[in-house]
Every structure is written in structure tokens, then in C-alpha cells.
Amino acid sequence: MIFYFREAASDVFGCKQLSDCAAQLPISLTYDSQTSPSLADTFLTVPADPGVSPWAAGQWKINLQIMESDGAILSVEVWRADSGGNDIQLVGGGSASAAIGLVQITFSGVEIPAEKTDRVKVKIFDQVQARFALAASASSVVAPIEQQRLHGRNNTYRRGRFLGWLRRPCEPSLDLDCFPKI
């Protein structure tokens, strides 16, 4: 599952959105830290996203598109957070020098016994006093979490058969009833 950094405010104060849909426009977020180390920003998924339990073990990859850097050294932490955005468990993290271009931070995560209401939270820290800019729409978190799928478990005719992917609110609708009839 892929989560994209968004510039929009989250429902939790002080956090920005971490969404499964990329932003339409390229938005640059600029940070200028006065102390080191300092928390540059926090990104949080919407409530009950990813909505699966447990979170699978595997390789996590954080892709940060750096637009501007004055020698910043970034560290990233991925957390399991509750529905209120409070930190519950550290999934993992890493650090890298913020050179202009794509910066990838990878780590192996263990299986997380998450609740279906838990959220993914990403914290970005600046380890030195520096200025850097991040292209939010081109930065992402690739998680080993499977996307939630629909199954016909309660329907005897469709029991165990795959019925399709669960549509997220930001995905376009394929429902033909929403088009005007001619």
C-alpha cells in the first residue's frame, strides 16, 4: 500500500495528511530548523486507514523528493497511532542526507498487531540546523500492508470469491448510475 504526503491539515492538530491519493498539484513544503535535532513535520493517515489487522511484516520504503537543501540530515520514524493520533508503537525508521533529488530510506518492519482503527503516522526530523524543501506530492511511504479487499463471506453464492477492491473516498466512482440519463 502506498501513502502520499499531503500539505492539507489532518484532523489531529499539528499534523498534515498522509493519504492513499497523491495531490493533483506539486506542492513544496519548506522547513527551516532553528535547533537540532528538531521535529520538522508529522503526517497522519485518516481515521481507520489502512483499516487492516495485523500490519504485515516486510520492507517499508520512505521516498522523499527534496527540492532544496542546505546540508540537512533527515531522520524519519514510522509509528502506529490510535484513532486520536497518539503514538502507540514504533514501526521503524532511518536517516539519510537530504541531497537534492529522491532520497530513499528503507527499513524492515515486523508484524504489528494493529487494530482496524489504527493509523500510520510519519515523523520527519532535521538532525542539523538547516533549511530544506520537500515536494509533498512526489513523496511517499510504501508499506507492506495489504489493501483492504471485499469478499462475499456472507453470501452463499459468492462465498470466498473476490468481489473487488474497497473504493476509497478519493478514488473516482465507476458507478454508472451517477451519470445523467439521456
The pLDDT averaged over each successive group of 10 residues in the chain (182 residues) is: 87 88 79 79 87 86 90 89 89 87 88 83 87 87 76 52 59 51 51
What does the domain layout of the chain look like in residue ranges? 2-148
Give the Cα separation of 98 and 93 in Å (integer).
15
The cell numbers describing 158, all together, are: 459468492
- pLDDT at residue 77, rounded to an integer: 92
- pLDDT at residue 156, rounded to an integer: 52
Give the Cα separation of 68 and 125 in Å (integer).
16
- pLDDT at residue 172, rounded to an integer: 56
- pLDDT at residue 174, rounded to an integer: 53
Residue 15: exposure state from Cβ atoms within 10 A (0-12, 13-18, ≥19): buried
What DSSP letter does each residue of 2-20 carry, written as one string? EEEEEEEE-SSTT-EEEES
For residue 172, how many other CB atoms are within 10 A of its CB? Answer: 6
User: Identity (one letter) of the amino acid at 181?
Assistant: K
- pLDDT at residue 179, rounded to an integer: 45
* CATH classification number, 2-148, choose in 3.40.50.2000, 3.40.50.720, 2.60.120.260, 3.30.465.10: 2.60.120.260
